[in-house]
Structure 1
Amino acid sequence: MQPSDTELMLKGYGLTTAEFFYRMPDHRSVLNSYVWQMLDLAPDYPRLFAFIEFWQREIDGPLHSVRFTHRRMVAPGDWRQVVAEFPVP
């Protein structure tokens, strides 16, 4: 079973957004872009690099460049265990 997004974020994964610029297969002088988002683990970015390898192997449009950003959505201090809850009347 795949871990949930919340479990991945608690393990240090963050949202990685990449913009791929690639050349059109039939018109090599035309650049197009594709936006990709996935939870990934910095600084190695295994999912991003796996996608880049997939692109180079399977997609006809050759990559021109890739730019990406990464943001951790949950930090260790953002989560805490709640033992009790006191409703305010």
Structure 2
Amino acid sequence: MTDRALLVQLAGYGLTTAEICYFMPDHPSLLQVFAWQEYDAAPDFPVLFDFLEHWRREIEAEIRSVRIAHDKMIRPASWQSADGVISWD
């Protein structure tokens, strides 16, 4: 059995983290923070926007801001010499 995380990364998805700042109706002066993390496809972020749409429909909280961080974890390898010099001798 193959791990779901590996399969979605091979399909081009990367790890996305969203910091959602929101207010609850019963505590409007208290800014709260929710951290969300899932594999998603940049730059459209369909999984995140589906979650945010669900939030707007089902949760009685006003979203103030959403900050997104995204990184593709599977990518071509890269390397650099520690001293900055490449020698083939």
Task: Note whether the superposition's TM-score is higher than 0.5.
Answer: yes
CA distance in 2, matches of 1:50, 1:72: 20
* Identical amino acids, percent of aligned pairs: 48
- Give the 3-state SS of the residue equivalent to 1:52 in structure 2: helix
> 4+ residue stretches of structure 1 with deviation over 4 A?
none
Q: 1:84 maps to which residue?
A: none
- Give the 3-state SS of the residue equivalent to 1:20 in structure 2: strand
Q: 1:81 maps to which residue?
A: none
Deviations 1:9-67 (A, max 9, x none): 01110000000000022011111000000000111100000011011000011111110
Corresponding position: 1:6 with 2:26: no
Higher share of residues assigned strand: 2
Aligned length: 75
Gaps of 5+ in 2: 78-89
TM-score by length of 2: 0.79
Structure 1 residue 7, shift from structure 2 partner: 1.1
CA distance in 1, matches of 2:24, 2:30: 6
TM-score by length of 1: 0.79
Q: Please, what is the CA RMSD of the aligned residues?
A: 1.2
Gaps of 5+ in 1: 79-89
